[in-house]
Amino acid sequence: MFWSRRSLGAGPLGIRLEGLFLAGMVALAGVKWLVDSWRLQLIARAAGVRISRLRSFQIYMASVFGANVTPFFAGGLATQIYFLSSLTASPGLSVAVGAIYGILNLVVNLLLAVVVLVWPPAMLTGLRRFAFVGLVGMIALTSTVLMALIRNHEGAERLVRRWLRRRPAAAESAVRLLHDFSEGLRTSLQGRHGSLIGLVGISLASQLLSLLFTPLAVGALGVHGISVWQIVLTQVGVQFSASVGATPGGTGIIEGVFGLFFQPLVGARTGALTLLWRSATFWLPTVVGAGMFVWLLQGHRISKTPAAPELES
């Protein structure tokens, strides 16, 4: 905040922001939430989980809150699994839905990363390119390991049994979870509700929407002379780097990465741009998601509360 106030100058928060661009950022946030919740609905239905569009939106927003308040965004998947479990008797299917959602994000991020690395002129140089290439390699390796485990689920089950050989009951529960998970993945990729290409396309559309927040934020600050294409390509690097955050919601790390990428473009306005971008992409969905999380949690508890026995007259 101190950095932002210094970069903005005088005034209540330092500068008169362009209202049209701010309204565009809010509208863009709403559109992206709808697209992402629709994607969650399609993935769930493809895995055999029946879910309404409203409930999909609620679970998606709650998962955003869960992701933004936990290290490595781990709470997002856990939140999805928890609330999806009320819609299916199989925990493995809930895990499969969350895993497919995350895998699609990885695939799209890798595709966009390749575009940034090969597109002329080079958008990344020096330290930024070194850090970016390192992240690309790490996430590509992680994705390869995950896909290998998914394809060889029988080997994964044997590995689980070996690890838990002294706890046979726990081993069998874990194996059943893996089996349901594998079945959910297989059904998702072969189901009639949507093809893998279609899901990748929707995931790509979601990521492209995410890339538009920064050009709108630049416009809201009244910064001129920078092409939208240059802003978007630079944002791809930030977006990919943001997928790795050891702190809750990547707080501190993502802001630093954003500043590292955009300081050469906007100079003294970097702090203000960072604050505005994070407000639209982090704080706003976190607040809305918190409300959805509490709403769903109360309903989930009520649905699991046994009815009181009727008194005989």
Q: Are 304 and 83 in contact (CB under 8 A)?
A: no
Please state the rounded mean pLDDT for residues 261-271.
92
Confidence tier at 210 by pLDDT (50, 70, 90): very high
pLDDT at 156 over 80: no
* All structural domains of the chain with their residue ranges: 2-301
Pairwise CA distance, residues 226 & 7, whole Å: 18
- Tell me the pTM: 0.79
In this prediction, residue 195 carries a pLDDT of 64
Q: Are 27 and 7 in contact (CB under 8 A)?
A: no
- Highest mean pLDDT range out of 93-97, 172-176, 255-259? 255-259
In this prediction, residue 122 carries a pLDDT of 54
Pairwise CA distance, residues 219 & 123, whole Å: 21
Q: Are 42 and 193 in contact (CB under 8 A)?
A: yes
- Which pLDDT tens digit goes with each residue over 47-73? 778 899 999 999 999 999 999 999 888
Which among 216, 230, 223 is positioned nearest to 123, based on CA atoms? Answer: 230
Pairwise CA distance, residues 183 & 177, whole Å: 10
- Which pLDDT tens digit goes with each residue over 106-151? 778 777 777 776 765 555 566 666 666 666 676 667 667 666 666 6
In this prediction, residue 146 carries a pLDDT of 63
Mean pLDDT taken over the chain: 79
**DSSP code per residue over 226-253:** --HHHHHHHHHHHHHHTT--SSBTTTTH
Q: In this prediction, what percent of the chain has a pLDDT beyond 70?
A: 70
Q: Are 281 and 209 in contact (CB under 8 A)?
A: no
Residues shown for the chain: 313
Pairwise CA distance, residues 211 & 216, whole Å: 10
- Residue 71, SS3 per DSSP: strand
In this prediction, residue 292 carries a pLDDT of 96
Q: Are 181 and 95 in contact (CB under 8 A)?
A: yes
- Greater confidence (160 vs 264) lies with 264
Range of weakest confidence among 52-61, 74-83, 102-111, 191-200: 191-200
In this prediction, residue 56 carries a pLDDT of 94
- Which pLDDT tens digit goes with each residue over 9-21? 333 444 567 889 9
Tokens 């922001």 sit on residue: 17
Q: In this prediction, what percent of the chain has a pLDDT beyond 90?
A: 34
- Greater confidence (251 vs 214) lies with 214
Q: Are 251 and 30 in contact (CB under 8 A)?
A: no
